[in-house]
């Protein structure tokens, strides 16, 4: 293989060019050791939903652990003829030395929250912007879409079938990883079984059926090869007139004599609701009530929900293009903004971005997120963003208020306040505990269960409140008054 065309594992140069030009400017202005704080947050929920799912942290860790500029990288930058030579020598000895806090993968997240904060020298903290956004935006988008689809399936397994529709190899592999975190039971993407231990699943293609002289011959050959897990694709020609009768005959003549029960049938076209109801009765009458019916074909959460409401007899779903691309809302609009600068004495000077578009006004300072859980129900009540050194005494009633409509207030009682972010890097060294993909997926399911059903609605979900502490709200409004007046 030509190494120049091989997939790079060192992604240091996968960055917007202006990150490097700014770094050069910081260096030549003597600002390279200035300590700053950057926050990643997003402003809008995909599909107008009630929440999103955090994903991509593990890939971010791998990126940060491998940050270094090679000789070829320095050579390329030198050839641009715009960078200071001392700056290039600084990059040649670059060592990541920042602190990083993130919301763990699998956790529900909401607009405006600092889901990632990076503290460190400005050149470094600014430079990692592109990959932080690329990694977390993509996987959070797919995990969120997958979670919606899996919830629509109402407990039925959902398989990720999207590799061939993904935007490139990374889109397929990391998209499948995110979909598994969001709730999928497995993936058709085999490499994810190798790399992440995600169950690799699949049946057959229409081409298998077409290759044989007859549909029955194709089914027989497949059943002889895989009698212990025989699932037959029955819509190559005609589901009810040929596909299902040939499948039943194959089950009786090839699967049962070998001591197995048929695993299932798959329908990939037509009116699946109607066909699945018919197929269910025919299978039951033939003595195969345990034979599962799998549906695929451009499904999403709305189609799956409607199919089930209309009585579809489907036991599992294979979902591809509309999940792996989040086709209904293919953008997760995370941004990365400066929120503070240390003054040299350890004091944090808050920074804010002002805009006539109020949704683009940032929240300044070094912050943390506290999630308030009801002690009786275990349900999440609201999130409160506070300054990093604030606490909430959950042994006493606490008043929360809408940061935009401050007259909307509520006093919460009998709750526990839990800081949901974790530090994953200290002085450039990873301190995050290893978590398996199965642990992350299970945590996701448990955390989504803490949300009220009203927040989980697909249409017009209840708004989950993300409030500011009074101290943080006051500081933000002082800065707004200062810079807007």
CA 319 to the chain's CA centroid: 16
197-208 per-position pLDDT tens digit: 999 999 899 999
Higher-confidence residue of 273 and 404: namely: 273
Residue 1 has pLDDT above 70, yes or no: no
* Lowest-pLDDT choice from 9-18, 284-293, 324-333: 9-18
Whole-number percent of the chain with pLDDT over 90: 95
In the block, residue with structure tokens 């990959």: 131
Average pLDDT across the chain, whole number: 96
Identify the pLDDT of residue 3: 38
Using an 8 Å Cβ cutoff, are 162 and 176 in contact? Answer: yes
DSSP string, 278-302: HHHHHHHHTT-TT-EEEE-SS--HH
Maximal C-alpha separation, the chain: 84
Of residues 132, 163, 167, 142, the one with CA closest to residue 39: 132
209-260 per-position pLDDT tens digit: 999 999 999 999 999 999 999 999 999 999 999 999 999 999 999 999 999 9
Beta bridge partners of 411: 399
Identify the pLDDT of residue 6: 36
| Residue 66 pLDDT class (50, 70, 90 cuts) | very high
CA separation for the pair 369, 40 (Å, rounded)? 13
Residue 4 has pLDDT above 50, yes or no: no
Fold of 3-142+330-484: nicotinate phosphoribosyltransferase (3.20.140)
| Residue 5 pLDDT class (50, 70, 90 cuts) | very low
| Residue 344 pLDDT class (50, 70, 90 cuts) | confident
Mapped onto helix, strand or coil, the DSSP state of residue 53 is strand
Residue 484 has pLDDT above 90, yes or no: no
CATH number for the domain whose boundaries are 203-310: 3.20.20.70
127-173 per-position pLDDT tens digit: 999 999 999 999 999 999 999 999 999 999 999 999 999 999 999 99
Query: Is the C-alpha dihedral spanning 186, 191, 193, 197 positive or negative?
Result: negative
Using an 8 Å Cβ cutoff, are 465 and 110 in contact? Answer: no
Structure tokens at 485: 């007046």
- Average pLDDT over every residue of 177-190: 98
Identify the pLDDT of residue 397: 97
Residue spans per domain, the chain? 3-142+330-484, 203-310
248-292 per-position pLDDT tens digit: 999 999 999 999 999 999 999 999 999 999 999 999 999 999 999
Residue 332 has pLDDT above 80, yes or no: yes
Residue 8 has pLDDT above 70, yes or no: no
């Amino acid at each position: 293989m030509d190494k120049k065309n091989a997939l790079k594992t060192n992604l240091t140069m996968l960055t917007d060019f202006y990150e490097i030009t700014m770094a050069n400017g910081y260096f030549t202005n003597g600002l390279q050791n200035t300590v700053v704080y950057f926050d990643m947050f997003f402003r809008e929920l995909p599909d107008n939903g009630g929440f999103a799912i955090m994903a991509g942290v593990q890939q971010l860790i791998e990126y940060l652990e491998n940050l270094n500029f090679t000789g070829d990288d320095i050579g390329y930058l030198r050839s641009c003829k715009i960078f200071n030579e001392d700056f290039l020598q600084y990059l040649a000895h670059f060592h990541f030395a920042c602190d990083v806090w993130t919301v763990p993968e699998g956790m529900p997240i909401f607009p405006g929250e600092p889901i990632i904060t990076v503290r460190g020298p400005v050149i470094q903290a600014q430079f990692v912007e592109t990959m932080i956004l690329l990694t977390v935006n993509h996987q959070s988008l797919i995990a969120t879409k997958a979670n919606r689809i899996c919830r629509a399936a109402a407990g039925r397994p959902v398989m990720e079938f999207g590799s061939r529709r993904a935007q490139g190899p990374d889109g397929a592999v990391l998209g499948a990883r995110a979909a598994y975190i969001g709730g999928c039971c497995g993936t058709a993407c085999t490499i994810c079984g190798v790399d992440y231990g995600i169950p690799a699943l699949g049946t057959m293609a229409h081409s298998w059926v077409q290759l044989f002289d007859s549909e029955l011959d194709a089914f027989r050959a497949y059943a002889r090869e895989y009698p212990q897990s025989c699932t037959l694709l029955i819509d190559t020609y005609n589901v009810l007139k040929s596909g299902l009768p040939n499948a039943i005959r194959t089950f009786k003549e090839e699967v049962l004599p070998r001591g197995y029960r048929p695993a299932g049938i798959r329908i990939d076209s037509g009116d699946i609701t109607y066909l699945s109801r018919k197929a269910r009765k025919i299978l039951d009458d033939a003595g195969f009530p345990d034979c599962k019916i799998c549906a695929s074909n451009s499904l999403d959460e709305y189609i799956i929900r409607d199919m089930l409401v209309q009585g579809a007899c489907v036991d599992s779903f294979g979902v591809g293009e509309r999940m792996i691309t989040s086709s209904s809302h293919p953008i997760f609009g995370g941004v990365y903004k400066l929120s503070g600068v240390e003054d040299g004495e350890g004091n944090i000077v808050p920074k804010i971005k002002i805009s006539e578009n109020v949704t683009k006004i940032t929240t300044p300072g070094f912050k943390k997120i506290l999630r308030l859980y009801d002690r009786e129900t275990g349900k999440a009540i609201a999130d409160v963003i506070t300054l990093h050194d604030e606490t909430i005494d959950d042994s006493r009633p606490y008043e929360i208020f809408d940061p935009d409509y401050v007259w909307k207030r509520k006093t919460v009682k009998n709750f526990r306040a839990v800081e949901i972010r974790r530090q994953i890097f200290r002085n450039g060294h990873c301190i995050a505990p290893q978590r398996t993909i199965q642990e992350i997926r299970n945590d996701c399911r448990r955390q989504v269960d803490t949300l009220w059903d009203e927040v989980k609605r697909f249409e017009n979900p209840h708004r989950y409140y993300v409030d500011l502490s009074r101290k943080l709200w006051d500081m933000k409004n002082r800065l707004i008054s200062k810079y807007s007046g």
